[in-house]
Structure 1
Amino acid sequence: MRILAFDSGIGGLGIVRCLRQDIPGACIDYLADTAVFPYGEQADDFLVARIVTLVGQAIARLRPDLVVIACNTASTLALGELRARHDVPFVGCVPPIKWAADLTQSRTIGLLATRATLTRSYLHDLRNRFAPDCTLVTYGARNLADLSELAFRGQQIPDQAISAEMAGLFSQPGGDAIDVVGLGCTHYTFLLDHFRRLGRPGLNWIDPAQAVSRQAARLAHRIGNITAKQQETGQAFFTALPEDIGAVLPGLRRMGYETARPFAERA
């Protein structure tokens, strides 16, 4: 079983970590579009064209049995086009509104996300479809994606930096009633321990990485060849290698990758 996971940066590696547990023995290639990270600063039309091109090139080279789009922005913008172009099955990632609505007792759920995510119409569609009886309190975090990158590299994150972003959510109208918080960006998985430690007691924090991985595992079982162990664990590709590659490598190795490789884009 060969899987391709795609994200704009290192955030999707949290999903890879879950995939290695849920589909042991799979070869999981990872492609990070770091050349234009963060996606939230790019125009939608540009991103759709770029994502479709990059993922298409990766599919042609790596021949995966399954593709995981481990990025909220990429999933909502380009997943439909990718499915229309390729026969390989896809799994996407969206903010965990449905999961949060299933768990909340107060009927007030929180969502920490990037500012770009909160401007897109699909978020309102998710809320109307899965949580029409809930109050959705949102906050577009300014620094959490960058802090997540630092956490992945093993750097110390000041508590006050995390607390300030959390306060941005809980200070919103209705924030006091939140009992479930969904993470609306895959990067935030690397800050989950900080959220749980610094958040008020009784809060339920939802990381969509587990749900995405479980869905991928279900599809993998349908495809078959799930028990066949691959001789390789996969490769990690970057459209632009991080300048501090030495700080990134320990985290990559924890995810099962020996090194970072450049992904040569075709014109």
Structure 2
Amino acid sequence: MSLRRRALLGSATALLLAACAGTNGPADSQRAAAASAAAPGARPDTRPDTPAHAPAHAPPEPQPSAGPTPEPAEGLLWRIDPAASLLQVLAFRQGALAGLGHNHVLTAPRLQGWLQLPADAPDPTRLSPAQLAHTRFALALRLEDVALDEPARRAQLGPAFASRPDAQAIAGTRANLLGPAMLDAARHPWLRVQSAMLRGEGAQVLAEVEIDWHGQQRRWRLPLALAMAPSAEGQVLRVQGQMALRLTDFGIQPLSLLGGMLAVQDDIGVTLDLVLRLR
């Protein structure tokens, strides 16, 4: 391997480790600046003196985004069973040095949500167009509750997810994911999805949904398949669907290092396999 390529790979690895180590961004930069100023030959601070009693101008407190949509009181209400349901998000690496990174899988073990049917629609798999027009649903996920790169989940996803990031790497990736540079979970703690319009007939539904994420609202189309299934506690409703989202459509900038030589793809894949129980 040439010295140039070896140096490039070394720099990339250092940057990747820094990105996955959960660094504190500005705080780390301030510590580095302080160390640099104390070093011999460091440039003096040429900024005007600031009086010790000058008032501090703290940044405004973040305004948390709204939580789950309240359940309706009327109609037939089906609630999501989070322990039996799956919301899965796949994020993929890209770039010339993609081999230094990992693909990632996120799940939502505490997903909340409901489906409201009109009172004259006892069977969710036999909905008429008129009944669909009066059907609504909502989902909500608190970002702090996401699970990242669980080994069992990665093992189910095949060779593209065969690498096994260790606990420290997962913790660092999670910190960066939820931090202000990406999802900014402190300011925007919830991801919400609610139906805007439902079309179709029977068990096949084409949903137009409104997604509220990262302070942005976007409309998306989500095909859904509904089926009744037996369980130990009686019949449950199973709802399945898939869609692709683009992070930048929601003002989220994917991680990118070395001018894009190691980066996260803008497009993410979302899979829903939900189990709901009649209230």
Q: What TM-score range do you get, normalising by the shorter chain?
A: under 0.3
Greater RCO, 1 or 2 (C-alpha within 8 Å, sep 6+): 1
Q: Which has the higher helix share?
A: 1
TM-score (norm 1): 0.25
- Rg larger for: 2
Give the TM-score normalised by the residue count of structure 2.
0.25
